[in-house]
Amino acid sequence: MALLEIDDIHVFYDNIQALKGISLDVEANRIVTLVGGNGAGKSTTLRAISGLLHPRQGAIRYDGRPLAGLGAHDIAAMGLVHVPEGRRIFGRLTVDENLLMGAFTRRDRKAIAEDKERMMTLFPRLRERLRQVAGTLSGGEQQMVATARAMMARPRLLLMDEPSMGLAPMVVEQVFETIQAINAQGVTILLVEQNALMALTIADQGYVLESGEIVLSGPGRDLIDDERVRQAYLG
């Protein structure tokens, strides 16, 4: 049984159908990526999984449990954590407070302090910036805060929406290295990216979305070699 199973979901914005029957599986401990053009439904898929949107039809099961009817905060508390598009850190809170909010569902103070220490080892820059208001950080640092904040929840499955967006090429590389490092610690990753080549390179499994439907799927490396993917997304 896969950690996350999506079975034929249909999602609408008012009367406009954004997802037309998406089915996909995310196996535990893998990196799975969704690639596709603008408006293909990548973010919508993540938003439906994390409970921000509710499918009109179809089912989403996490760890065997159906997620229908649960609020976004309930789903986050189950260890399914979504790092939204644009990072959405709390700009008026300090870096420390952002990390604390990541651990909101947890009560184990000692383990929270340990995890914070681990995050500052993973991102040494954050240690210097701990008391700083997060809105004043650079884009790359804000991405670190967003990732560290999500990791503070001790997720089993991390949904990441465009983590490389708006970052300098060197920083983008660091972001992808971080994703692999997190995955190596046993966190399953579902990654949405515009940067299809990078995403497919690190992914075990890839899905190609086009106007709300999955048009191709397979191991990441196979998709990179696929002629249609090359033409459409890799230039």
Contact positions vs other proteins (CB under 8 A): 50-52, 71-73, 76-77, 81-84, 88-93, 97, 100-102, 104-105, 149-150, 153
Name the minimum Å distance from CB 168 to other proteins.
Answer: 24
Cβ distance to other proteins smaller for residue 8 or 104: 104
Name the minimum Å distance from CB 97 to other proteins.
Answer: 5
Name the minimum Å distance from CB 76 to other proteins.
Answer: 4
Cβ distance to other proteins smaller for residue 109 or 227: 109
Cβ distance to other proteins smaller for residue 41 or 51: 51
Cβ distance to other proteins smaller for residue 27 or 96: 96
Name the minimum Å distance from CB 221 to other proteins.
Answer: 31
Nearest to 202 by CA among 227, 224, 170, 171: 224
Name the minimum Å distance from CB 7 to other proteins.
Answer: 23
Cβ distance to other proteins smaller for residue 52 or 197: 52
Is 18:209 a contact under the CB 8 Å cutoff?
Answer: no
